[in-house]
Amino acid sequence: MLDKIIQFSIKNKFIILLLTLVLIAWGSYSLKNLPLDALPDVTNNQVQIITTAPTLASQEVEQLITYPLEQAVKTIPKVIELRSISRFGLSVVTVVFKDDVDIYWAREQIFQRLKQAEENIPKYAGSPELAPITTGLGEIYQYDVYAKKGYEDKYDAVQLRTIQDWIIIPQLQGIEGIAEVSTWGGKLKQYEISVNPNTLNSLGVTITEIFDALEKNNQNTGGAYIEKDQYAYFIRGVGMATGIRDLENVVVKNRNGSPVLVRDVATVNEGISLRYGAATKDGKGEIVCGLALMLKGENSSAVVNRINEKMIQINKTLPEGVVAEAFIDRGKLVNSAIGTVTKNLLEGALIVIFVLILFLGNLRAGLIVASVIPLAMLFAVILMNYFGVSGNLMSLGAIDFGIIVDGAVIIVEATMHHLYKKKNNGQLEISNGQLAIGNEGKLPIASERTLPIASEADLLIVNSKYSQEQMDSEVYKSASKIRNSAAFGEIIILIVYLPILALVGTEGKMFKPMAMTVGFAVIGAFILSLTYVPMMSAMFLSKNTEHKPNFSDKMMAWFEKIYTPFLDKALQFKKAVLAIALGLFVLAIVIFQNMGGEFIPTIEEGDLAINATIMTGSSLSQMVKTTTEYEKILKAKFPEIKTIVTKIGSGEIPTDPMPIESGDLIIVLKDKSEWTSADNWEDLANLMKSAMEAIPGATIEISQPIQMRFNELMTGSRSDIAIKIFGDDLEVLDTKATELISKINNIEGIGDLKADKVTGLPQITVKYDYSKIALYGLNISDINQIIRSSFAGETAGKIYEESKRFDIVVRMDAANRTDITDVSNLFIPLPNGQQVPLSQVATIDYEQGPVQVSREDGKRRITIGLNVRGRDIKSVVEEIQQKLDTDFKLPAGYYVTYGGQFENLIEATKRLSVALPIALGLILVLLFFTFNSFKQAGLIFTAIPLSAIGGVFALWLRGMPFSISAGIGFIALFGIAVLNGIVLISYFNQLKAEGITDPLQRVLIGTKTRLRPVLMTAAVASLGFLPMALSTSGGAEVQKPLATVVIGGLFSATLLTLIVLPILYLLFEKFSNKQFETNN
């Protein structure tokens, strides 16, 4: 079948050319529409349930909201993890599903369970809602809304927030690919009914009566219509309040025949809602900022472009002097990552082309093979689009064109060899088992790996030209003979990458796109090597059979001059050479075991995220003041900073819930070429942390925006390593967390060590006296409503200003809600019309309460988070485990687990330990079917440990720990390494079949003949990865270990294949001959 494809391609050149043009056009269109991102989205498949309950403390949130929700969703199929956070006024329950579950099905299942859960949640406790359908990569665009210079006095925080909510957000929400837009900071406008308790008491009015009066006096209605003559007149009752004056004139009650109006007992004014978050910028104070969340599965590059286009329009619609401007734009990181990939691929392609032309000694042949590179990539892009693989650092970053063009190289080389042979005397003369050598020019031959034709030897050349018909015929003969070798090379590569597709979890999402893209490109190259390459060879290779020695021949002669005596010496000291190889392998194992490990190298995003947390219970205004000071310090000391925006507490959509004493400083940095304080982000971040420590009493944690979000969404912790202590009592958990920190604090490499704040929140508690409540004839529900309305405020309707809507909120005036005495003196109406202070029916006191309650799979926990600096994660965790195992005791029912990147590393290593043997087993099976001999399959298989030596040494010399990225590099390396072994062994077998019975003769002839293809295969595969190994641009951190392993491994594999493999072959043959003689 393959023969027929080759024959058809050569005979029907126009059709193949036309199909090639179709491939170029289709591929170019697919490239234009390829989804682009910086990284694969590794967020697990999750749905968040958010409930806001501004009046409830952490204990009540856990008891009344979180627990019923957890119980309701526990029974949903395919749930693999359930965790939650309960803190003052907020419950966030995260339900993690298996990766293969459709997110819309998952949300539907949860939505159905919410109906059951709501029956167990009190009405006043809030209504659970599902978070937007977004992921860790969803925060693609962050902007701030501010007044230009000279307009600062015209627009305050309330007006800017109103502009954000009612002009900017509605327009952004209409953009395709946007899931939701959240707001941070500013002040939300309300119409506030500020009640004076003394006036209320003197007039005998209660807050409940005000509340009821406002609800009854703020509504419109309709009375259908009446017909008069030929017209229908629709009746509309307009009773909606339109502003402060209408609200002031609402009648609360009649007292002695006189109406008591709202203005008699309260002040009506424009106020602001209670705030649970804020935003500051560049040390200049508070701002309003927005956060656009991308819909899961969308093309971030396209969505960012749409947002940028829309923001230009939006800015034209804003009031004069107001600007909305981006401070974080995902496009910057995407462009940086894609720029890194493009640069590396381009440089890699140029190196491969150069090496091909250098070794082939023929420009036309080199260009034909080189043209396969862009065509195979376009083929890969078409399939990437079809299978939904986005173009990013991982999917495109690990492509080695040297591997991809392997099949094309084999066919072009074989064709050249065939064309340069004398038509009638193209076979080697063999007599008495010896090779007859002539005296004519050398041929630029290479790697027809299993081709049973003459070797690269001294042959007579006839100076003549082929006609096009003869050329077609000769190209078909050579290509059809060599097709099995070409196919075998491609199949080996495909098989090696196959187990990577079996990876799941984070590493699966990270590396599957890479394996798929390489697979697509290799399949494309394979198809092209059967169609396009023979057609182009027949059309464009020189039809002149004369060959003159060129630079390539001279270079190979130089290599032979070095290699031949080296091999002769090695053959004299076989045992010593094998002992050295074995010793190096053992040394490599020892180095590998002590190498340490990390999950995936940290990718430099170009921006920093620093989390600062001050003392528990601090006010929002204190946190705003602190972060403003931090911003001033950093802006003054570090010229690398472009801008700093701090997000404090929770946003309007609290997918990232923080307490009001905690804030994220998003530090947008200038281009790295402008840095002066440090060379890398870690050093710069540590310098910033030191500068921030000038303000005492804060916990500071350094990360990067996407990294922090990924860590939090996937593990519930923002840190690289999360040590979790599980138990029931929050006080015990807090004590044990403090003890644990003291024990591991001095371990080298630990940075940003901190525990969750779970206790120590100052509270004013109101504990009811049931006997006194019974004595006065009261009920707790009514008292609770009065407390809620007086201090938190309750909504009593809305004011509509055209399309804008603002809540009407009833609460006590600010002067009467400042102290515990205001709570004690709150008047409670009695059934007889009298009023008593709250202190008469309850005990009011200060207490310490829980800050937050974190739960995982139904069990309370506290998390100690730490980031690793200047050391690998694996060795740090191992040292922590050793210390805790010997010197850390927990009460019965309490236990410790390790999460974060370490957990990912362990899981991924387990899966790799299965995937790697499968890959090796598949290679061995394929080798057996090729050679029909376990001995020879085993012989070639020795290339794998030989290549592992170089891979391990290369990592060690560059100071890199083992990572999953390096592990994938080893899988790719093993596939490439066996190809060189096949080149030699298949040729030894061919010489044996041709009558050379002496194994030593076969080795000497075979190694000399096959030196060119062995060196070329290794050179194109390893040098193609060179730009990745040396790259320092954004995102190169993930590629470096992979490229380092392949280059180092191929270096050792090639060197040892040319020396050790011939020795092993001779020993095997000697052993086989002895067995044969014994049997006879």
Residue from 88, 93, 57 nearest 276 by CA: 88
Band of pLDDT at residue 455, cut at 50, 70 and 90: very low
Quick check: 211 pLDDT over 80?
yes
Task: Look up the pTM and report it.
Answer: 0.80
Residue 309 contacts residue 195 (beta carbons within 8 Å): no
Measure Cα distances from 906 to 108, 763, 878, 911 in Å. 33, 42, 12, 9
The 10s digit of each residue's pLDDT in 305-323 is: 999 999 999 999 999 999 9
The 10s digit of each residue's pLDDT in 671-697 is: 888 888 888 888 898 899 999 998 888
* Amino acid letter, residue 743: K
Share of the chain above pLDDT 70, in %: 92
Q: Average pLDDT of the chain?
A: 84
**What's the pLDDT at 547?**
61
- Distance between CA atoms of 42 and 603, rounded to whole angstroms? 14
The 10s digit of each residue's pLDDT in 608-667 is: 999 999 988 888 999 999 999 999 999 999 999 999 999 998 888 887 778 888 999 999
Domains of the chain with bracketed CATH: 7-35+361-546 (1.20.1640.10), 44-133 (3.30.70.1430), 189-272+762-850 (3.30.2090.10), 549-594+933-1080 (1.20.1640.10)
Band of pLDDT at residue 380, cut at 50, 70 and 90: very high
**What's the pLDDT at 550?**
75
- Distance between CA atoms of 853 and 62, rounded to whole angstroms? 7
**What's the pLDDT at 554?**
84
Query: Six-digit token pair at 149?
Result: 């210079």
The 10s digit of each residue's pLDDT in 251-271 is: 999 888 889 999 999 999 998
Residue from 1024, 1044, 1030 nearest 356 by CA: 1024
* Phi and psi, residue 150, nearest 5°: 95, -15
Q: DSSP per residue over 135-178, as a string?
A: -TT-EEEEEEEEEPTT-TTT--HHHHHHHIIIIIHHHHHTSTTE
Quick check: 445 pLDDT over 50?
no
Q: How confident is the model over 760-764, as a mean pLDDT?
A: 86
**What's the pLDDT at 451?**
34
Q: How confident is the model over 469-495, as a mean pLDDT?
A: 75
**What's the pLDDT at 447?**
38
Measure Cα distances from 77 to 48, 73, 96, 116, 145 in Å. 16, 9, 11, 17, 44
**What's the pLDDT at 663?**
92
Q: How confident is the model over 166-170, as a mean pLDDT?
A: 94
Q: How confident is the model over 1043-1058, as a mean pLDDT?
A: 88
Q: DSSP per residue over 814-839, as a string?
A: GGGSSSHHHHHT-EEE-TTS-EEEGG
* Amino acid letter, residue 1046: V
**What's the pLDDT at 63?**
92
Query: Six-digit token pair at 721?
Result: 């390593």
Which of residues 470 and 964 earns the better pLDDT score? 964
The 10s digit of each residue's pLDDT in 785-808 is: 889 888 888 888 999 988 899 999
**What's the pLDDT at 508?**
82
Query: Six-digit token pair at 804?
Result: 């804008």
Q: How confident is the model over 691-711, as a mean pLDDT?
A: 85
Which residue bears the tokens 């490109």?
521
Q: How confident is the model over 718-731, as a mean pLDDT?
A: 86
Q: How confident is the model over 4-14, as a mean pLDDT?
A: 84
- Distance between CA atoms of 408 and 820, rounded to whole angstroms? 83
Helices 1036-1079 and 330-360: crossing angle in degrees, nearest 10, is: 40
- Distance between CA atoms of 880 and 743, rounded to whole angstroms? 9
The 10s digit of each residue's pLDDT in 583-614 is: 999 999 999 888 877 777 777 778 899 999 99
Q: How confident is the model over 1038-1056, as a mean pLDDT?
A: 87
Q: How confident is the model over 170-189, as a mean pLDDT?
A: 92
**What's the pLDDT at 645?**
92
* Amino acid letter, residue 893: G
**What's the pLDDT at 456?**
37
The 10s digit of each residue's pLDDT in 102-146 is: 999 999 999 999 988 888 898 888 889 999 999 888 889 999 998
The 10s digit of each residue's pLDDT in 992-1016 is: 888 888 888 888 888 887 787 788 8
**What's the pLDDT at 453?**
36
Quick check: 946 pLDDT over 90?
no
21 contacts: CB under 8 Å, gap ≥ 6: none
Residue 589 contacts residue 949 (beta carbons within 8 Å): no
**What's the pLDDT at 392?**
82
The 10s digit of each residue's pLDDT in 892-924 is: 989 998 887 777 778 777 877 887 788 788 888
Residue from 53, 97, 92, 52 nearest 74 by CA: 97
The 10s digit of each residue's pLDDT in 984-997 is: 887 788 788 888 88
**What's the pLDDT at 303?**
92
